[in-house]
């Protein structure tokens, strides 16, 4: 299998990327080679998006529950290897995959052809999605990618303009700084202890939970909500993920004890995030991670919604 893809299969909208994104693209090139090899073994889309490095299926399964209808037109921004877009297209949606790495774009293009999926691949960044000719999307998703944008406000404003009225936006798996961590300190740790911060060398930025809410509102979105991660809702998924990383038989007594404690934590967290009275305040101050959901409403829609809710 080769990573070469016909140029007409990837729509290239950006020629010059920022220094940070260019560096990230260099790192992505090596990862794409590995995944082309992995793709050779995949006989179905499910095998591809269920790989051990991706949480796309569990997270996007949760998002799908809030989709207004089947067979939607979805803009999936910052898709990386493309597991999220492949999952959504496999569910019958028409997906437009936005990714700055041309190597990952080529990978996604190969996958769409192999499995005959309805995916349009676009090589650009969130800040330049205003160049996309297609409009009136039902859903826009930032796939753990808004915090990679150098100008997240512009990326969100573009998303707002590309959505149809009553379209919805999701921010998935964005980095959220804990409330006791100073931002300056966070960036210092990122620079000096990248392994501890699980930093792979990409174009990283980070925000507090309430900052994502503020950015969404600034872009014009209404009904902004914080939602628990699909991983937190499924303790068995997290346990399986841990065991895939290192089987129980290969762990010593101390490691097994830590694993048992961690399992208890997973089940406790699954209960906690299902209680809005606890989850909402804790996630609002970044003590618990959140996914973010919002709606594009015109002024008349919003006023109607306020009246129904008893507002003025």
Does pLDDT of 189 surpass 90?
no
Region of 75 please: left (phi>0), alpha (psi -120 to 50) or beta: beta
What are the domain boundaries of the chain? 7-229+290-308, 233-272
First to last CA, the chain: 61
pLDDT digits (tens, 9 = 90+) for 62-96: 999 999 899 999 999 999 999 999 999 999 999 99
Domain 7-229+290-308 has CATH 3.40.50.150: yes
pLDDT digits (tens, 9 = 90+) for 138-154: 999 999 999 999 999 99
Q: pLDDT > 90: what percent of the chain?
A: 74
Higher pLDDT, 304 or 232: 232
Does pLDDT of 223 surpass 80?
yes
Q: pLDDT > 70: what percent of the chain?
A: 93
pTM of the model: 0.90
Nearest-angstrom CA–CA distance, 235 and 265: 9
Does pLDDT of 2 surpass 50?
no
Nearest-angstrom CA–CA distance, 264 and 151: 40
**pLDDT band at residue 5, thresholds of 50, 70 and 90?**
very low
Report CA 48 to chain centroid distance, whole Å: 17
Does pLDDT of 109 surpass 60?
yes
pLDDT at residue number 138: 98
Residue 165 backbone phi and psi in degrees, to 5: -60, 135
Rounded to the nearest 10°, the torsion over CA 211, 213, 219, 224 is 180
pLDDT at residue number 51: 79
pLDDT at residue number 305: 53
Residue of 39, 40, 58 lying closest to 48 (CA atoms): 39
């Amino acid at each position: 299998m080769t990573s070469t893809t016909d140029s007409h299969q990837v729509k290239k909208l950006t020629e010059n990327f920022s220094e940070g994104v260019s560096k990230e693209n260099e790192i992505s090139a090596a990862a794409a080679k590995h995944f082309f090899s992995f793709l050779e073994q995949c006989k179905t889309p499910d095998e591809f998006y269920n790989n051990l490095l991706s949480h796309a299926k569990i997270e996007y399964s949760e998002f799908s529950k809030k989709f207004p209808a089947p067979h939607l037109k979805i803009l999936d921004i910052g898709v990386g290897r493309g597991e999220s877009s492949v999952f959504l297209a496999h569910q019958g949606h028409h997906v437009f995959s936005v990714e700055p790495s041309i190597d990952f774009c080529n990978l996604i293009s190969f996958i769409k052809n192999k499995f005959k999926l309805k995916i349009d691949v676009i090589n650009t960044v969130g800040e330049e999605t205003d160049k996309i000719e297609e409009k009136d999307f039902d859903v826009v998703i930032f796939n753990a990618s808004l915090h990679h944008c150098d100008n997240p406000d512009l990326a969100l404003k573009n998303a707002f303009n590309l959505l149809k009225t009553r379209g919805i936006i999701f921010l998935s798996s964005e980095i959220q700084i804990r409330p006791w961590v100073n931002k300056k300190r966070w960036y210092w740790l990122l620079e000096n202890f990248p392994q501890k911060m699980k930093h792979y060398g990409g174009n990283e930025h980070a925000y507090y939970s309430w900052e994502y809410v503020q950015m969404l509102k600034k872009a014009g979105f209404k009904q902004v909500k914080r939602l628990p991660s699909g991983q937190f809702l499924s303790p068995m998924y997290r346990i399986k993920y841990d065991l895939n990383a290192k089987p129980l038989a290969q762990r010593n007594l101390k490691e097994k004890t830590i694993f048992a404690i961690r399992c208890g934590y997973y089940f406790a967290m699954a209960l906690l995030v299902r209680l809005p009275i606890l989850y909402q305040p804790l996630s609002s101050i970044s003590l618990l991670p959140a996914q973010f959901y919002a709606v594009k409403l015109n002024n008349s829609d919003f006023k109607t919604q306020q009246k129904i809710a008893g507002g003025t």
